[in-house]
Amino acid sequence: MTGAGTAAAYEPVNIVHTEHVQAGPYSLTVGFSQWPLRAMQSLDFTFIPDGGIADKSGTLTEIQPNGKVRREGPLSRHPRKREDWGLDVRSLDQQGDWTFRFTIDGPQGRGQGDLTSLPVLKQPGPPLGISWAVSSIPLLGLIVFLSYAWRRTRPAAVPHPA
């Protein structure tokens, strides 16, 4: 008999911080796999309504610090925590206070609630431009090496008889 195999070989979602949102008659626990949140840093989010998700549906609207809607879409099961709604390996692209707006439909009707002032700190590490510049140095070195090797090994031009 064989074990569970590679299908079950995934890292579980480790929730290190939670916030609570009241969306009408529904209480929702929002979980984060890293805290504090940092811009451009991937993490998992879970959204767990009291009583589970079986008889409910909903939408999540991500509102950036400047007030623009970044994403609006249906709440779906987390790929690695199937009994809850969630987002897998998601990052928030700018620092500031974000808002997550939840709209939930269920047996008690429709409810809406916001998780406001969700602090997202500055991106860790050097700025993106510097990171890209440093990471492209090996590629540039390879191009220079291949150009040099090609010029050294190509056959010499033979003059054509006139």
User: Mind spelling out the 3-state secondary structure of the chain?
Assistant: CCCCHHHHCCCCCCCCEEEEEEECCEEEEEEECCCCEECCCCEEEEEEECCCCCCCEEEEEEECCCCCEEEEEECCEECCEEEEEEEEEECCCCCEEEEEEEEEEECCEEEEEEEEEEEEECCCCCCHHHHHHHHCHHHHHHHHHHHHHHHHHCCCCCCCCC
Q: Judge if 72 and 139 occupy the same domain.
A: no
Q: Judge if 34 and 109 occupy the same domain.
A: yes
Separation of alpha carbons 162 and 157, rounded Å: 15
Q: Residue 154's pLDDT is what?
A: 79
Q: Judge if 98 and 81 occupy the same domain.
A: yes
Query: Residues 23-52: pLDDT tens digits?
Result: 999 999 999 999 999 998 999 999 999 999
Q: Judge if 89 and 136 occupy the same domain.
A: no
Number of folded domains in the chain?
Answer: 2
Judge whether residue 161 has pLDDT over 90.
no
- Average pLDDT score over residue span 122-148: 87
Q: Residue 160's pLDDT is what?
A: 67
The reply to whether 159 falls in a domain is no
Judge whether residue 21 has pLDDT over 80.
yes
Between 95 and 159, name the one with better pLDDT. 95
In this structure, the chain runs to a length of 162
Q: Residue 13's pLDDT is what?
A: 80
The per-residue pLDDT of the chain, averaged, comes to 89
pTM for this predicted structure: 0.74
CA angle 16, 18, 20 (to 5 degrees): 175
What percentage of residues in the chain have a pLDDT greater than 70?
A: 89
Q: Residue 71's pLDDT is what?
A: 94
CA angle 100, 106, 111 (to 5 degrees): 40
- Average pLDDT score over residue span 149-162: 74
Judge whether residue 4 has pLDDT over 90.
no
Q: Residue 158's pLDDT is what?
A: 60
What is the residue whose two structure tokens read 């692209």?
93
Between 154 and 85, name the one with better pLDDT. 85
The reply to whether 5 falls in a domain is no
Domain that holds residue 105: 11-121
Domain holding 28: CATH number? Answer: 2.60.40.1930
Q: Judge if 98 and 146 occupy the same domain.
A: no
Q: Residue 29's pLDDT is what?
A: 97
Q: Judge if 72 and 116 occupy the same domain.
A: yes
Separation of alpha carbons 118 and 125, rounded Å: 21
* Residue 61 and residue 72 in contact, taking contact as beta carbons nearer than 8 Å: yes
Q: Judge if 52 and 113 occupy the same domain.
A: yes
